[in-house]
């Protein structure tokens, strides 16, 4: 390897995604996908694309989807940016809005892609430890003329911040760009989209991968005032990113328009989560309070490593992070169907009696 390449490779620490196993007989609770399929209206929209328009290029502005997102949140279309998954939206956000003279802030224990984007785009960052309850303490976040990003609910803890707390953070950081990553907000947390009209420095990012069951389609979006949205568009255009394809535009539009299906799916996931938390507590687990489609839990007597491996041996996969040490005994468990949840509980019972 040449010196040049080895220097680059040395500097970049890539994001390590959760495993997408080849085996099909697994109870897959490791990457926070939705256990339910997308709305039937999505499937109809995809079929219509195949029948009518696949030979034609897609609309480079995704206007149909932008309009549908704007309508859903009751904001002007000029407040909406769409991209290929919220990971792409976040990539453009880091490039366009989070490079400042001083390090940006994000929690220590959060979405592990944030430091990767910082490495890629040469952005300095400073992390702020979660408090003893694994919560973000907003009074720790003060940054004049800089950037702040955090997920709400946080990942992988699943803990949510009340709207009033986020507003408190916004009040003391009016000169910084504040990005709230709401990938998991629809499972019981409070969205800040309603604050965008009052805070020109607030950008909210969302994904269609979780609550709308479209992880395979790769669609995400951001909501913010026009100067922020224009900055994202400029980066997207300058870097010649792919526009959304016809499936993504039509499928995501149908998903966002089917509010009843979305609400029902979220309700089912939340009900399964509540039941699973009770079962795990009964088995001796400490479970952080979750408002996401996953939970973060540790058992007082068994290591995270051991539990993850024993579950895997029983064809159940959950996410385990060996670093940092503070969370190495936790398992991050995606909420599946009731049947999957029951399989998990039975397997844990079996593991814990041995």
Do 316 and 21 meet the contact criterion of CB atoms below 8 Å apart? no
Q: Out of 35, 38, 58, 85, which residue is the one contacting ligand PMP (CB under 6 A)?
A: 85
3-state secondary structure 175-228: CCEEEEECCCHHHCCCCCHHHCCCCCCEEEEEECCCCCCCCCCCCEEEEECHHH
Do 215 and 209 meet the contact criterion of CB atoms below 8 Å apart? yes
* Minimum CB distance to ligand PMP smaller for 182 or for 343: 182
- Cβ-based neighbour number of residue 309 at 10 Å: 12
- Under the binding rule (CB under 6 A), the answer on residue 87 touching ligand PMP is yes
Instruction: Tell me the per-residue interface mask from 207 to 226 with ligand PMP, x by CB under 6 A, - otherwise.
Output: x-x-----x----x------
C-alpha span between 247 and 52 (Å, rounded)? 12
- Under the binding rule (CB under 6 A), the answer on residue 111 touching ligand PMP is yes
**Structure token digits, residue 206:** 């969302």
Tell the smallest beta-carbon distance from residue 207 to ligand PMP (Å).
3
* Minimum CB distance to ligand PMP smaller for 201 or for 207: 207
Tell the smallest beta-carbon distance from residue 352 to ligand PMP (Å).
29
* Minimum CB distance to ligand PMP smaller for 183 or for 347: 183
C-alpha span between 163 and 180 (Å, rounded)? 11
Best CA proximity match to 124, nearest among 114, 138, 132 = 114
- Under the binding rule (CB under 6 A), the answer on residue 86 touching ligand PMP is yes
**Structure token digits, residue 220:** 């995400």
Name the segment binding ligand PMP (CB under 6 A); options: 40-48, 85-93, 273-281, 307-315: 85-93
Q: Out of 35, 151, 224, 251, which residue is the one contacting ligand PMP (CB under 6 A)?
A: 151
* Minimum CB distance to ligand PMP smaller for 3 or for 323: 323
Do 235 and 92 meet the contact criterion of CB atoms below 8 Å apart? yes
C-alpha span between 182 and 202 (Å, rounded)? 12
- Under the binding rule (CB under 6 A), the answer on residue 265 touching ligand PMP is no
Instruction: Tell me the per-residue interface mask from 162 to 191 with ligand PMP, x by CB under 6 A, - otherwise.
Output: -------------------x-x--------
Tell the smallest beta-carbon distance from residue 217 to ligand PMP (Å).
9
Dihedral sign of CA atoms 169, 211, 295, 107 in order:
negative
Residues found near ligand PMP in the complex (CB under 6 A) = 85-87, 111, 151, 155, 181, 183, 207, 209, 215, 220
């Amino acid at each position: 390897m040449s010196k040049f390449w080895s220097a680059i490779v040395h500097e970049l620490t890539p994001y390590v995604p959760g495993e997408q196993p080849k085996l099909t007989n697994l109870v897959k609770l490791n990457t926070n996908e939705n256990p339910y399929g997308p709305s039937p209206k999505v499937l109809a929209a995809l079929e219509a694309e195949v029948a009518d328009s696949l030979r034609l290029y897609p609309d480079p502005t995704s206007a149909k989807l932008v309009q549908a997102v704007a309508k859903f949140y009751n904001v002007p279309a000029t407040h909406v940016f769409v991209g290929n998954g919220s990971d792409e939206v976040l990539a453009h956000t880091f490039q366009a809005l989070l490079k400042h003279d001083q390090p940006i802030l994000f929690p220590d224990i959060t979405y592990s892609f944030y430091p990767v984007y910082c490495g890629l785009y040469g952005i300095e960052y400073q992390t702020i430890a979660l408090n003893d309850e694994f919560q973000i303490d907003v009074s720790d976040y003060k940054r004049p003329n800089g950037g702040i990003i955090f997920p709400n609910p946080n990942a992988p803890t699943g803990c949510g911040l009340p709207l009033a707390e986020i507003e408190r953070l916004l009040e003391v950081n009016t000169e910084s760009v504040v990005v709230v990553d709401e990938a998991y907000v629809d499972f019981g947390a409070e969205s800040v989209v309603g604050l965008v009209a009052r805070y020109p420095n607030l950008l909210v990012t969302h994904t269609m991968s979780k609550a709308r069951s479209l992880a395979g389609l790769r669609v995400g979006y951001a909501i913010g005032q026009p100067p922020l949205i224009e900055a994202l568009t400029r980066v997207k255009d300058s870097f010649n990113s792919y526009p959304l394809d016809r499936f993504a535009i039509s499928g995501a539009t149908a998903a966002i328009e089917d509010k009843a299906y979305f609400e029902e799916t979220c309700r089912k996931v939340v009900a399964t989560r509540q039941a699973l938390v009770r079962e795990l507590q009964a088995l001796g687990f400490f479970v952080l309070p979750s408002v996401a489609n996953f939970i973060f839990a540790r058992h007082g007597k068994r290591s995270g490593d051991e539990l993850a491996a024993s579950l895997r041996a029983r064809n159940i996969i959950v996410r385990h992070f060996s670093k940092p040490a503070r969370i190495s005994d936790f398992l991050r468990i995606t909420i599946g169907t009731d049947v999957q949840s029951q399989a998990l509980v039975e397997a844990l019972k079996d593991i814990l009696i041995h």
